[in-house]
Structure 1
């Protein structure tokens, strides 16, 4: 979860924003200003929330705003209607295959990276079926709650495509290489059973109507009781930790040393002894340890073209 752009304008009310193919709501709905829990809804129910470039732009912007907004603590992502997401809108497609491959960036990957880089955790409420990018874009989330009677799948191979949205990084780390290989190679859709998905889904609920309320319950608990700074640093350690037990120990020790000097640690201890809810106020953008990010950040912007006249003559 490296740093994100700083030139993001944060609105007073997310409900006043007009973003294409998504809707952002406060929790509770109608609150005049941003709330600790916000709900992002994929909002193309007439198309089963099929993914579009405009939806990708809206989601990417939304996660960048949440990252920059200290009022937001937790995000819930869900869909309108009976399906969470039917994958890419194939009537629109993926472009015309023109231009350089080096300049192409898949739109699902932009969303996944924005979610992953956001300091605030995302809980996905899959109230209905999801396939393709509807599944891969949820992988950077901290939790996925789904409907037990719906079906889910990574169907790319059945459409003549490879996986995207950084799924080759996230999926095997979440479910193991064996299950990931089975899911992406069969391209089939399955009920949310452990034998197919392992523990990819944190909770599987019998009724679709239960999914969003449960996700909001979990999000509210996290917003009220979890330090955003500690949560963000811990997730970064999990995703970008050391490559050996010794390296993990050295890195965790440095980050832990930083954390025990922060006000959130003092507040966490005091609230425990005083038997009250904590009031964590440290903005992760300001309170992250000096070494953060401790891994090399790749530049994912398009490569700069150099004309013949601009090339070095050396």
Structure 2
């Protein structure tokens, strides 16, 4: 329906859930959804109280790629506008301190798979199908797919996944390293909520340093990475959370982090 928002935003304490809400199109990505996602990411990036982010899809799928029907009149111009909007959102996602979880089911294809791969954790329902799909349309990947995929599975396997355009089930995706866990469909919501709750209770700023160190390690020499680790550790030492972690260690109790 025209008055149905393309993205639903749910806030539970320090956890924000973004739910793609185009179920009639298997949440295929169009400009309105991309713009809504960018606006949501800007809000999250500006809110230090957010300590975990969960991405999910309404209806029968997480996201079945880009909405080709919305691009048909002028593919190049539509793609430039759509992808550039999503690229801004992904840059914000990449820079977050808060961990990001993709809760996937049904179809995870094209841009949907690229988006999931850009998250820190991917939990999939049994029966989920994955396909890079781009090559079947005669194009290359977008939304960071070509950046994330070889980092996750290695160059040789990444070329196979992206150039053959084949579908993989959840167990195959798990074996290849595309996802973290396969969960019975009826348990997916509860499992992802439990993980988000656990992460939201952790040392948020340290999570941010850890996720950036891991990603940037591919582009640094060992001496550069060692220095970045030292700088990050020193920055952590100035946080209330590390002070709490040390106090809890010596007090033989569980740390109660505040994300500061």
The TM-score normalised by the length of structure 1 is: 0.74
Contact 2:152 2:178 in 1 (8 A): yes
Contact 1:190 1:196 in 2 (8 A): no
Q: Which residue of 2 aligns with 1:191?
A: 169
Residue in structure 1 matching 2:123, options 138, 145, 157: 145
Residue in structure 2 matching 1:111, options 89, 94, 100: 89
- Greater shift, 87-96 or 175-184, is seen at 87-96
Is 2:1 the counterpart of 1:24?
A: no
Equivalent residues in 2 for 1:1-314 (5 A)? 20-27=5-12, 35-93=13-71, 96=74, 105-194=83-172, 198-205=176-183, 207-224=184-201, 226-241=202-217, 243-272=220-249, 273=251, 275-282=253-260
- Greater shift, 170-179 or 252-261, is seen at 252-261
Counterparts in 2 of 1:104 and 1:126: CA distance versus 1, 3 Å: closer
Q: State how far apart, in whole Å, the 2-side matches of 1:75 and 1:264 are.
A: 20
Unpaired runs of 5+ residues, structure 1, are 1-17, 28-34, 283-314
Contact 2:125 2:185 in 1 (8 A): yes
Contact 2:205 2:259 in 1 (8 A): no
Contact 1:267 1:280 in 2 (8 A): no
Contact 1:127 1:209 in 2 (8 A): no
Q: State how far apart, in whole Å, the 2-side matches of 1:110 and 1:61 are.
A: 10
Could you tell me how far 1:49 is from its partner in structure 2?
1.0
Counterparts in 2 of 1:139 and 1:21: CA distance versus 1, 3 Å: same
Unpaired runs of 5+ residues, structure 2, are none
Could you tell me how far 1:102 is from its partner in structure 2?
9.3
Contact 1:77 1:123 in 2 (8 A): yes
Q: Which residue of 2 aligns with 1:294?
A: none
- Aligned partner of residue 206 in structure 2, secondary structure: helix
Could you tell me how far 1:134 is from its partner in structure 2?
0.9
Contact 2:42 2:89 in 1 (8 A): no
The TM-score normalised by the length of structure 2 is: 0.89
More helix by share: 2
Could you tell me how far 1:108 is from its partner in structure 2?
3.8
Could you tell me how far 1:281 is from its partner in structure 2?
4.1
Could you tell me how far 1:223 is from its partner in structure 2?
0.8
- Aligned partner of residue 161 in structure 2, secondary structure: helix
Contact 1:123 1:219 in 2 (8 A): yes
Could you tell me how far 1:118 is from its partner in structure 2?
2.4
- Greater shift, 141-150 or 255-264, is seen at 255-264
RMSD, aligned CA: 2.4
